[in-house]
Amino acid sequence: MLGVFLDRASLDLNDLNLTTLDNCLPTMRYYPMTSSAQVMERIAGATVVISNKVVLDSTALESVPELRLICVAATGTNNIDLQAATRLGITVCNCRGYGTPSVVQHVFSLILALMTHLPDYHRAVAEQRWQGAEQFCLLDFPIRELADKTLGIIGYGELGKSVARIAEAFGMKVLIAQRPGTLEPESGRIPLPVLLPQVDVLSLHCPLTPETRGLIGAWELALMRRDAILINAARGGIVDEAALARALREGALGGAGVDVLTEEPPAHGNPLLEKEIPNLIVTPHCAWGSREARQRLTGQLVENIAGFLKGGGGKSGGLKVIQNTAESYRLSGKSQAKSHPASNGLRL
């Protein structure tokens, strides 16, 4: 039974223990990266394929009659043709919850850096401004405490709840936004137009869906306080990036921390990557990537493969079938991982 990992370098920086994965499927072949032109050649004859971001379309899936299990080394399954997989009897499993501590930590790294102007103070020291100061400290940039500030959260799933807990530990008040597209009032949730003017920090943790695409645009940004901070560690398309860049340049927003962009990698440029945008921190979709998180992800891959093998490795793999409103997906009996093209493991 052949296994293939198409893009190991997207997960393992030679700092992970992959012994359990090797033991689970000793025939595993590892490739650092795989281009679209190499996919069919590399998955030929494979029963199990692991992919993080390599696209597996219907043509690729139909070319491998032996293929029975696709393990997505991520939460989002948008790179897999799920309709074709269902039609061909191929089980698709994803991974969930592995990156929560890492993402939450990154979110507060961005919040704290922006609230304290940490990059500006670091730059001031590098430019010798402290060394030539007339007093013992520099206070050139405003420093704000999180205590008694208000945090607004859009997306109150596992990540949103974890961010809320840490915010409360800092003494922040937490407001939860009503689900986008929801017309009826929801207990404990506030409509977005009512929430936005109240928050000092807005943190996004919702999936990218038709309802959330472009959710934060020029109109929404104009509702926020001029000193408010926007954090996006969810999906790039949720924010109108040109509108955000404009708001920051015009001083209409206090700052922004962004770990995701509409196109990744941003090979064709991005409004947020142009020079001279004040109070903006952009990180390269690395919030999830602590070593501990990547090791947990590896453990979930092993659970999914082991569950499949325990079922005999047949067409259904012994995995529980999950009925979705649109299609059927399968779930390992042990792992929390399940395939869902819209949710990406994030809940509103």
- Which member of 211, 285, 327, 347 is catalytic? 285
CA 255 → CA 110, 115, 119, 179, 236, distances in Å? 10, 8, 12, 24, 16
Name residue 323's beta-bridge partners: 328
Q: Return all residues near 65 (Cβ < 8 A) that are at least 6 apart.
A: none
285 assigned to active site: yes
At 195, the amino acid letter reads L
- Which member of 68, 96, 106, 235 is catalytic? 235
264 assigned to active site: yes
Q: In what order do the strands lie in the sheet with 280-282?
A: 173-176, 150-154, 201-204, 229-232, 255-258, 280-282
SS3 277: coil
Tell me the C-alpha distance between 189 and 176, whole Å.
Answer: 5
SS3 48: strand
Neighbours of 238 (CB within 10 A): 25
- Which member of 145, 264, 274, 292 is catalytic? 264
Phi, psi at residue 202, to the nearest 5°? -115, 125
User: From the DSSP assignment, how many helices (H) and strands (E) are in the chain?
Assistant: 11, 13
User: Would you tell me the crossing angle of helices 100-115 and 158-169 to the nearest 10 degrees?
Assistant: 50
**Closest to 46 measured CA to CA, from 63, 23, 24:** 63
Task: Report the run of H or E that residue 106 belongs to, with start and end.
Answer: helix 100-115
Neighbours of 232 (CB within 10 A): 26
CA 248 → CA 41, 108, 120, 280, distances in Å? 47, 20, 15, 8
186 assigned to active site: no
Name residue 50's beta-bridge partners: 5, 71
Which sequence positions are flagged as catalytic? 235, 264, 285
